Structure 1
Amino acid sequence: MQNYLDFEKGLAEIEGKAEELRALARKTPEMDVAAEAVALDAKASALLDELYRSLDPWRKAQVARHPDRPHCRDYVATLFTEWTPLAGDRNFADDHAVMGGVARFEDRPVVVIGHEKGHDTRSRIERNFGMARPEGYRKAIRLMDLADRFGLPVVTLVDTPGAYPGKGAEERGQAEAIARATEKCLSIGAPVVSVIIGEGGSGGAVALATADRVAMLEHSIYSVISPEGCASILWKDADKAREAAEALRLTAQDLRALGVIDRIVPEPRGGAQRDRPATIERVGVAIHEMLAEVDGKKPDALRKARRRKYLDMGSKSLVA
């Protein structure tokens, strides 16, 4: 069953009526409603194009959070073979919000690390809605060390509202774990490529996205804080999330112009949730191209270029 966002209510009504007509035709074949259903389909198609032709930042944030978008586990299952998950930080526990392991990408061994939000109520609770605790980032550090030791490229898939802000996480050193994961991204001699597949929230995202090459899906977001959190701080009113989204420059288009990311991966018409296989295939192409750009570079050259990339960040200007 298709899940619709608030701004898609009109589309939901039209597509719902078209489906009702087709269901009626199946029950009573003597009724000829095919022409009406086709007309409604055409109207829905035109409205879908109109809605997604120029999404504002707040609507992009809603699309980025759509529950039907493909998640990390979907990309792993489709793009990678011989997936061997590795669990735990060898210190405290295994954090299910961060999944990672060794796999093959196009028959090449790689280390894959990503946030997983879950796909239903049970798995979302188990995965803590993609909000990692310190042990999740320490697991990522352990896997990046493994990649560095064996010269394996690291592929990260980022989709998190942000790191978990709970009391236990803070007691176990959340900020320190995030900082060390970011430092590890910068210091390893293996190639690191990252894709923002949904939300890229705050340091919880940066900890896995400090890469040689960073891509974003067309309707994903990447920001220092959520629009709601920003609105609560600046205006003491979370209802001003739309204004905050405009100010944060969190869209892939803004971040590409600023030089924060390197490429935008186009989404299918109507967003990734409307054609999951096509979205996953396009992300696979982006990963292939990004790995090709950094292939063959010596570890010291990778570290130097990566460091320079982030020192230079912000030198480009975005015209309002």
Structure 2
Amino acid sequence: MKITFDFEKPLAELQQQIDKIRQVEEKTKVDMSATLNELQDKFEDARKQVYTNLTGWQRVQISRHPERPYTLQYIELICDDFIELHGDRTVGDDKAIVGGWGSINGQTVMIIGHQKGRNTKDRQYRNFGMANPEGYRKALRLMKMAEKFNKPVITLIDTPGAFPGLEAEERGQGEAIARNLLEMSVLKVPIICVIIGEGASGGALGIGIGDKVLMLENSWYSVISPENCSTILWKTWDYKERAAESLKLTSTEMMKNKLIDGIIKEPLGGAHQDPVTMAATLKKTLLKDLKTLTDRNIDEVVTERIDKFCSMGVVIEDAPAEPVAPIVE
């Protein structure tokens, strides 16, 4: 069953009209090409109008589309070969984060990313893309392995947040994410991070420190989800649309605030409309950035990485003017 969001209903109605006319044409053998062409043009115009004027909340909805490509699908479409590696060597293997060696056009890279599920069973298996501490420790182990063999790291971010369960806190969720932030800041290989869907809170930041931080056009990146923000501020989810606008979480807003380094354009309507084209676009961008970063001195790259993140949120205020002494006559 095809998922249709509220803002897509006018498009769905037009598509139904087109399908009905095609059925009538096939059944009656009457040429209705003129009507079909007119409706098809109307559909394409409406489609462009809808998808080029999306609100923050509408982009959040697209980022969560159940048919949207996830990490393993991108790996399958982008990599010539992929060998998945498992476990953090301490607790276990977190299925919410996958990673391993991949080859892109003959270049070996370490690819790490969040993985969601397509059906109920798979979502439970992947814990809805919410990683436990062992997931972040597995990611760090793989990054350190990449550093050892001097290979670049690519991370694909798509999570509603780190797993908030009691057992995750008992095993050191906060420490695991903080450790990743520290280690990724000084990792002596190039790092490219791409938000491919949801980029929520520390769950995203845990594998989100990189020389290039990119976002797909319809992804979002924020300290909190719109629903949880609405719950905290208004004690209800009813203001999630307002929260999405206030959080400035879209790729264009993040780029405007200099919190990311680039936006990767999606097929009209979202990545789920054409995963193959989306993967090809992502691959092209990754190869270009990998070449730029690997050609540079790694010490300079690491210094720029640290400076970039240290400068985020810094505000320089003008010094107050010196008080002027009163004139005494």
What is the TM-score when the length of structure 2 is the normalising length? 0.91
Post-superposition shift, 1:92?
1.1
The equivalent of 1:54 in structure 2 is: 53
Measure how far apart 1:125 and its partner are: 1.9
SS across alignment from 1:259: coil
The Cα shift of 1:29 comes to 5.0
Q: What SS does the corresponding residue of 1:314 show, helix, strand or coil?
A: coil
Residue 302 of structure 1 is matched in structure 2 by: 301
One-letter code aligned to 1:60: R
Distance 1:38 1:69 in 2: 29
Matches within 5 A, 1:1-320: 2-26=2-26, 28-315=27-314
Give secondary structure in 2 for the equivalent of 1:101: strand
Displacement after TM superposition at 1:169 (Å): 1.3
The alignment of Structure 1 onto Structure 2 pairs a total of residues equal to: 316
SS at match of 2:256: helix
- Report the Cα distance in structure 2 between the residues aligned to 1:180 and 1:24, rounded to whole angstroms: 63
Deviation at residue 281 of structure 1 after TM alignment: 1.0
User: How big is the shift at 1:134?
Assistant: 1.0
1:260–1:314 contact (8 Å) kept in structure 2: no
Change (3 A) 1:24 1:181: farther
CA contact (8 A) 1:117 1:129 kept: yes
Structure 1 pair 316/107, CA: closer, same or farther in 2 (3 Å)? farther
Structure-2 separation of matches of 1:176 and 1:81: 35
TM-score by length of 1: 0.94
CA–CA distance in 1 between the matches of 2:74 and 2:315? Answer: 32
Indicate conservation of the 8 Å contact 1:259/1:316, yes or no.
no
Measure, in 2, the Cα distance between the counterparts of 1:298 and 1:142.
24
2:322 aligned residue:
none
Q: What is the CA–CA distance in structure 2 between the aligned matches of 1:18 and 1:122, rounded to whole Å?
A: 36
SS of 2:303's partner is: helix
Distance 1:24 1:184, change over 3 A: farther
Cα distance in 2 between the residues matched to 1:228 and 1:53: 24
C-alpha contact 1:257 1:316 (8 A) present in aligned 2: no
**Inter-partner Cα distance in structure 1 for 2:126 and 2:35:** 44
Q: Post-superposition shift, 1:37?
A: 3.4
CA displacement at 1:293 relative to structure 2:
2.4
Q: Deviations over 1:201-236 (max 9, x none)?
A: 111101111101011111110000000011111111
Superposed CA offset, 1:120-159 (max 9, x none): 3322221112111111111101100101111110001111
- Alpha-carbon offset, residue 188 of structure 1: 1.1
2:167 alignment partner AA: G
| Runs (5+) with no aligned partner, structure 1 | none
- Code of the aligned partner of 1:6: D
**Larger Rg over CA atoms:** 2
State which drifts further: 254-263 or 9-18: 9-18
- Quote the offset at 1:200 in angstroms: 0.6
